[in-house]
Amino acid sequence: MSLESNELRDLYQEVILDHNRRPRNFGALADANRTAVGHNPLCGDRLQVFLHVAGDRVQDISFQGSGCAISTASASLMTEALKGKTVAEAHALFESFHGLVTRGEGDPGALGKLAVLSGVREFPIRVKCATLAWHTLEAALEQQEQPVSTE
Ligand code: ZN
């Protein structure tokens, strides 16, 4: 392994540890209109994702729960990446992220900070930890919106 990839790996590790220590967008979202709970029994990770979707946009997003460093960091990074994105962009990012961590596909550069989790591909059991927040997100997005009527 070259020096550069060792340095890159250290940098990735640092970002993961930082997001685990200080998870971003952590806690329940007061005005959430979609939420879902996810559980990864293989590791014991449990988390809940909260979304405030308005029109076709993720206006706000948060999560809470407890789990290993990978699951917490992944959820934290996901909330950062998705805030303000459209629902279509959120689905596309899920597909890209999933392809990267399960099959090493895609362009890590297009994933921004989420690429720090690309290393989990070498540890199949950790892939479940890294994708838990995303599967929970998909479940929350699939919920029907509360019917809104002005008539
Ligand atoms: Zn885990």
- Asked whether residue 117 carries a pLDDT value surpassing 60, the answer given is yes
pTM to 2 decimal places: 0.90
pLDDT of the residue at 1: 46
Of 32-46, 66-80, 95-109, the range with the lowest mean pLDDT is 95-109
Please tell me the distance between residue 115's alpha carbon and the centre of ligand 1 in angstroms.
18
Please tell me the distance between residue 17's alpha carbon and the centre of ligand 1 in angstroms.
14
pLDDT of the residue at 4: 62
Question: Does the CA dihedral 84-85-90-93 come out positive or negative?
Answer: negative
Please tell me the distance between residue 131's alpha carbon and the centre of ligand 1 in angstroms.
10
Higher pLDDT, 137 or 7: 137
Band (143; pLDDT cuts 50, 70, 90): confident
Please tell me the distance between residue 149's alpha carbon and the centre of ligand 1 in angstroms.
41
Q: Are 74 and 117 in contact (CB under 8 A)?
A: yes
Average pLDDT on 94-102 reads 94
